[in-house]
Structure 1
Amino acid sequence: MLSFHRRFQSTLFLLLLLASATQAQVPRKFWLDTDLMVGLPERAPREVDDAVALLMALRLSDKVELTGVSLVTYVDYGYEVGQKLLKWYAPDRTIPLYKGSDLCGDVGVENDATRALAEALRRQKLTIAAIGPATNVATVIKNHPELVGQIEEITFCAGRTPGFAFRPGLETMTVSDYNFEKDVEAFRVIFDSGVKVILSGFECSAYLFLGQTDLAFLADGSEGDRWLHAQFRPWSLRGQRVFGVDGFIPYDTTPLGHITHPEYFKYHRNIPVQINRRENDATTPNAPKGPKPFLEVSYDYPSKWTCDYAYKTLPGFEEIVIELMKKKK
C-alpha cells in the first residue's frame, strides 16, 4: 500500500510539473497599438523604432501571439506600410491590421481599431503594448469600462522620474515625451480606470543604441530587410546631425521587451504616477515656450494612480533586439 501511494505521489508530481511547463510555454495573447511612421514621405526621415518593435513581435511567436495591430496617427500611411511588413515577415499568418485615430486628441470617438480591440477583448484577455499616443486604448476603456478586467496589462512608451530630461546621443538637446504629450487626456482616462499599467520610456530605453554596424546586414537581406535598411539609414544620419551620433535609440522595443523578456529590466513597482505642469524642458527648434504637462512617477507623490515603472535596461537586451532582426523567420 505504501509503495502504491509513493508511485501515485510521484506520478502526480510529474503530471503537475508537465502541466506547469506546458502552461509556461503558451504564448501570451497580445495586441500591438502603434504609430507606424517608418519611411513616411511627408517629413522624411521619420521614426523607425515602431517597425523594429513590430518585427520583434512577429519573431517572438513563442512568447507572444500577436492577435491584432492597430494604428494611431498617419493611419493611412501606417496601414500601407503595415501591410507590407506583415506580407514580408509573416506571410503564413493572418494578423489583422486596423486604422485608428488619425490626429489623436479625440478620445471616445470610435474607429475601426477601437471597435476591433473591444471585440477582441470580449473574446479573450489580452496584454496590450501601446507604443504610440494612447488615444485608441483610452477610447476602448472610456466607451467600454466593462472590458477593463479583460486587459491583463498595458505597456506604454512614456513617462519619467522627476527631473529626468530626454537627451539622446551626446546630450546636447532635450526632446519631448512625445507619446504622452500628443494626447494627455488619454492617459488620464487610462489611469482613472485602474487598469494595470507599465511605463517604459526614454529613461529605460536610453541604454540601447543601434548604429550602422548593427544594421548593415539588412542591406544584403530579403526584400523587406533592404527596404527597412533604406529607411533606417536616413534616420541614423539624422541622429548624427541632430544628436551627434550615427544611429538611433529603439525606444519602442522596451515596452515589448517588458512583455517578452522582463528579466532584462529593473522596475519601480507600484509607484505613484502624477501629471505635473512645469516649464517646457524641450530645446528642439519648434518646442513651444511656457508650461506643459509632465507624466512623472515618484514614491513621494500622494496620487491614487500607480504603475510599474521600468527605469533601466540590463546588458544583453540590445543583442536580443539585433538577433531577432537577423532571424529569418
Structure 2
Amino acid sequence: MSDPTSTPAPSTPEPARILLDTDIGTDVDDALALGVLLGSPEVRLLGCTTVYGDTVLRARLTRRLAGLAGHDVPVVAGAAATLTEREVFWPGHEGRAHEGLADERLREDVDAVGLLTATVAAAPGAVDVVAIGPLTNIAHAVRADPAFAANVRRLYVMGGRFDRPEPEHNFQSDPEAARIVFASGVRAVVCGLEATQRLRIAGRDIARITAAGGFGAALGDEIAAWCGFTGEDWSVPHDPLTVLTLVRPDLFGFRRGAVDVSVAGADPGTSVLRPDPDGPVEVAADFDAGAATEEIVARIIAAGAGG
C-alpha cells in the first residue's frame, strides 16, 4: 500500500513544443543553434522549415544534422525568394562538406506555411516558433492565417540591432517581411546584433564541439567551411544565443516595447525598439557572455551524445 502521508514526487514539466525556421548552411550559427535545441531536454522540436535561397539544400542539411544527433525531425523547404526580391546572399560553400545530401528525405505533403500555421493552430498558445533567418516564411504565415500571430506562444527572433541605427543581415535581407511580422502584434523575444556580437566560439570550444560524436564532427566541418569563407578562426553564435533566450531566460535581462523596421531609405531593415511596458516584444539585454557561451557549448555537446 502507498503511504497516504508521503509527499508526491514533483512532476516533470512537459517540454516546450518548438518549430524552427532557419537559413541553415551559410553561417554556421544556424547549425549550432540546431545543436542547442537538440541538446536541450526542456524542448521538443516538432519540425523545421527552411528559408532564403536554395531552401531544398538547406532542408536536406537540416535533416542530415538532426539525424546525426539521433533525431528524426520533419523538415519542409520554404520560401526561396524574399518578399522584397532582394538578391540572396549565397557564398557557395553551403552543403559541400556533406556527401549524399540528395538522399535526405523531406516532408512534401505540406508546404512551410502550412506546417507553421497548422501546427500552432492545433495548439493555440502552446507552440513557440524560433526564426533565425530572414522572416519571409513567418510573414507568409501571418498573411495566410489572420490567427497565426495570436496562436504562437512566443516568436523567438535573431534579427535587428537596437543600440544604433544600423541594419542587420536577417532584417536587411527581407525588410518587408520583418515589418509585416512585427506589425502583426505577435508576442516576440528578439536577440539583436548588439547582444550576439558579445560572444565568440573559438579554439578550445570548437575542439570540444568537434569531439562530440558524429554530430559534433559534422558541425566541425560546418565551422571549418564558414571560417574558410570569413578568414577568421572563430564564429559568432548569433542564433545559439537566440535559442538560449528560450531555454534559459533566467540568464537574461530584457527591454520591452514594440519594434519598427524600415523598408525604405538608405538602410532598409534598420530596426528600432519603442519602449512600452505593455509592448509585445522583449529584446535581450543584460547577460553574462562567458556563462552564455559555456551553456551553448555544453548543450551542443549534449546533442552530440545522442547520436
Would you call these one fold, judging by a TM-score over 0.5? yes
CA–CA distance in structure 2, aligned partners of residues 294 and 106 of structure 1: 15
Q: Is 1:33 equivalent to 2:13 in the alignment? A: no
Greater share of residues in helix = 1
Please list the CA deviations of residues 204-228 of structure 1 after superposition, one character each: whole Å capped at 9, or x if unmatched. Answer: 1122110022112344453332222
Q: Percent identity?
A: 21
Q: Which residue of structure 1 aligns with residue 75 of structure 2?
A: 97
Q: Which residue of structure 1 aligns with residue 192 of structure 2?
A: 201
Q: Which residue of structure 1 aligns with residue 285 of structure 2?
A: 311
- Mapped contact 1:83–1:97 kept (Cα < 8 A): yes
Please list the CA deviations of residues 19-71 of structure 1 after superposition, one character each: whole Å capped at 9, or x if unmatched. Answer: xx52x62111111111111xxxxxxxx310000001111111x2111111111
The amino acid that maps onto 2:187 is K
Helix, strand or coil at the partner of 1:317: helix
Q: Which residue of structure 2 aligns with residue 131 of structure 1?
A: 132
Query: Which of residues 42, 46, 65 in structure 2 aligns to 1:85?
Result: 65
CA–CA distance in structure 1, aligned partners of residues 250 and 148 of structure 2: 29
Query: Normalization by structure 2: what TM-score?
Result: 0.80
Please list the CA deviations of residues 182-241 of structure 1 after superposition, one character each: whole Å capped at 9, or x if unmatched. Answer: 1112122222221101110211112211002211234445333222212212423544x3
Paired residues for 1:111-260 under 5 Å: 112-124=111-123, 125-163=126-164, 176-239=167-230, 241=231, 246-260=233-247
Paired residues for 1:41-60 under 5 Å: 46-60=26-40
The amino acid that maps onto 1:114 is V
Tell me how far 1:277 sits from its aligned partner: 7.2
Tell me how far 1:274 sits from its aligned partner: 2.2
- Counterparts in 2 of 1:162 and 1:211: CA distance versus 1, 3 Å: closer
CA–CA distance in structure 2, aligned partners of residues 149 and 306 of structure 1: 11
Helix, strand or coil at the partner of 1:208: coil
Tell me how far 1:276 sits from its aligned partner: 4.2
The amino acid that maps onto 2:146 is P
Q: Which residue of structure 2 aligns with residue 43 of structure 1?
A: none
Q: Which residue of structure 2 aligns with residue 326 of structure 1?
A: 301
Aligned length: 274
- Mapped contact 2:21–2:50 kept (Cα < 8 A): yes
CA–CA distance in structure 1, aligned partners of residues 120 and 264 of structure 2: 37
CA–CA distance in structure 2, aligned partners of residues 254 and 25 of structure 1: 23
The amino acid that maps onto 1:317 is A
CA–CA distance in structure 1, aligned partners of residues 149 and 114 of structure 2: 15
Please list the CA deviations of residues 245-284 of structure 1 after superposition, one character each: whole Å capped at 9, or x if unmatched. Answer: 5201010012211110011112112x232234787xxxxx
Q: Which protein has the larger Cα radius of gyration, Structure 1 or Structure 2?
A: 1
- Say which structure, 1 or 2, has more relative contact order (CA 8 Å, 6+ apart): 2
Helix, strand or coil at the partner of 1:292: coil
What are structure 2's unaligned runs of at least 5 residues?
Answer: 86-109
Q: Which residue of structure 1 aligns with residue 42 of structure 2?
A: 63
Tell me how far 1:112 sits from its aligned partner: 0.9
Paired residues for 1:272-291 under 5 Å: 272-276=258-262, 290-291=266-267
Tell me how far 1:100 sits from its aligned partner: 0.5
What are structure 1's unaligned runs of at least 5 residues?
Answer: 1-7, 38-45, 166-175, 280-289
- Counterparts in 2 of 1:277 and 1:112: CA distance versus 1, 3 Å: closer
- Mapped contact 1:159–1:297 kept (Cα < 8 A): no
Helix, strand or coil at the partner of 1:321: helix
CA–CA distance in structure 2, aligned partners of residues 249 and 127 of structure 1: 24
The amino acid that maps onto 1:118 is T
Q: CA RMSD in A?
A: 2.8
Tell me how far 1:141 sits from its aligned partner: 1.5
Paired residues for 1:263-274 under 5 Å: 263-269=250-256, 271-274=257-260
- Mapped contact 1:56–1:324 kept (Cα < 8 A): yes
Tell me how far 1:120 sits from its aligned partner: 1.0
